[in-house]
Structure 1
């Protein structure tokens, strides 16, 4: 789970605490690492078991660059069209999913994975087939938020998985030093407009110590469900909280409602 480096490494304590409390959503991203394969890193089990220290973007690759090197693997879902007129459709053939984003978002390659990493460049939480919200928001190598899908190997229920993923994004992306207050909502049943059923959890971290102009509080939302193959998958979105260009909650909910199975 990526943006800024540093921290005390006590991720187990943080996420365990985060997963225990109640919440609302949020997140910033200045350190997303681009992975060269369509394979999500990081745990799908309880986030509290992650013990790695805070992320540090690899210097060779831009963090959440506005024009990252994309892995073309994955292709597209034939005939995929947005369900909201004027929006863009985002497909992920690997998991057989799709969702829509507003026209100003950047839809990246289905084969591209992005991840927040620890100080040893180990992926802590990732997603593939992402769409970016406001690339270059705080400098060339930054994005204000992103949404995408990941697998959930080892998951047994959608509720805990949604909570773990939501918590992991705000911790890894916004406050690995544990300077702020984390909140994670208990997962609730959710049915998308398409009829896809699963569980949703939102997470926030507020009061983050601002050591850099790009440091912000954060929020995230995760929707866990089973795809057409009966495998668990998780759609998630993270973005900054409390900033001028903050992604409105109404837009977050509208994007969430478009998540569906495809292909």
Structure 2
């Protein structure tokens, strides 16, 4: 599921459901408080091991032999996805995935993206998407910034919850979102936090729209106080869907870009 379009001018803002929302009473993806998140460091999902079993390579070389590497110079992350032959596609850096409000204003965006099995489904859970919306990507990956008024743990949970909310329904067809507390993520030299959203889709205009989905985030704070973030969201329960182990293997290749 997803909308992909060249939007080089638009920034990577988010629609933060966990803090304030839009003032119309939209439910937060989870009832967990920021304080509770910080107390749960020893529980939940464990970070994926380094995909290559050693220090991540420098430059644009993949950690997994035969995979493709995507680099975000703006948001200082690099990650790998499987090869083109496995139906993964890297998009140019001026291409964004975006979901909009009813007036067409982007509410959430990511750039430096990759998608899995683009073009498989002719309908989608959220009609308010741009460009490639409704063409049925089974998974999308990308990078974005963050909200400096929130903690790193809140940013991790917001990105997981918000991408699940918009990619799988939006305000008009609200999915059910269950977001884990944020957990530390210390992989490949990243000192960040991660969260996972499990999504139950309410609007299924066809059987190729998934009944469920999963979203995973990584957020790190940069020396200047800003955040950089990475997200993967993936259909579940449909033919050719990524397993969570495959998602975690991709996630295990995320590494910082220095300089």
Residue by residue over 1:205-263, the C-alpha shift from the partner in whole angstroms, topping out at 9 and shown as x without a partner, is: 22524223443232211111124655311100111121111111011111111111124
TM-score (norm 2): 0.72
Tell me, in whole angstroms, the C-alpha distance in 2 between the residues paired with 1:175 and 1:50: 16
Match of 2:14 in 1: 42
**SS at 2:159 equivalent:** helix
Tell me, in whole angstroms, the C-alpha distance in 1 between the residues paired with 2:71 and 2:175: 34
Match of 2:165 in 1: 171
Tell me, in whole angstroms, the C-alpha distance in 1 between the residues paired with 2:65 and 2:114: 17
Tell me, in whole angstroms, the C-alpha distance in 2 between the residues paired with 1:153 and 1:184: 18
Alignment gaps of 5+ in structure 2: 27-57, 123-133
Alignment gaps of 5+ in structure 1: 1-28, 55-77
**SS at 1:152 equivalent:** coil
TM-score (norm 1): 0.71
Match of 2:120 in 1: 137
The answer as to whether partners of 1:90 and 1:99 remain within 8 angstroms in 2 is yes
Match of 1:224 in 2: 219
Q: Note the 1:183-194 alignment, pairs <5 A.
A: 183-192=178-187, 194=188
By how many angstroms is 1:41 displaced? 3.6
**SS at 2:99 equivalent:** strand
> Is 2:192 the partner of 1:198?
yes
**SS at 2:250 equivalent:** helix
Match of 2:244 in 1: 249
By how many angstroms is 1:32 displaced? 4.4
**SS at 1:43 equivalent:** coil
Are the structure 2 counterparts of residues 207 and 110 from structure 1 closer, same or farther at C-alpha, using a change threshold of 3 Å? closer
By how many angstroms is 1:38 displaced? 5.9
The answer as to whether partners of 1:131 and 1:146 remain within 8 angstroms in 2 is yes
Residue by residue over 1:17-76, the C-alpha shift from the partner in whole angstroms, topping out at 9 and shown as x without a partner, is: xxxxxxxxxxxx154454243621433684651358x9xxxxxxxxxxxxxxxxxxxxxx
**SS at 1:49 equivalent:** coil
Match of 1:102 in 2: 82
Residue by residue over 1:134-172, the C-alpha shift from the partner in whole angstroms, topping out at 9 and shown as x without a partner, is: 111214833121101001142442211010011101111
The answer as to whether partners of 2:216 and 2:231 remain within 8 angstroms in 1 is yes
Are the structure 2 counterparts of residues 237 and 130 from structure 1 closer, same or farther at C-alpha, using a change threshold of 3 Å? same
Alpha carbon RMSD of aligned pairs, Å?
2.7
Tell me, in whole angstroms, the C-alpha distance in 2 between the residues paired with 1:154 and 1:51: 20
Are the structure 2 counterparts of residues 136 and 188 from structure 1 closer, same or farther at C-alpha, using a change threshold of 3 Å? same
By how many angstroms is 1:128 displaced? 0.6
Tell me, in whole angstroms, the C-alpha distance in 2 between the residues paired with 1:90 and 1:38: 20
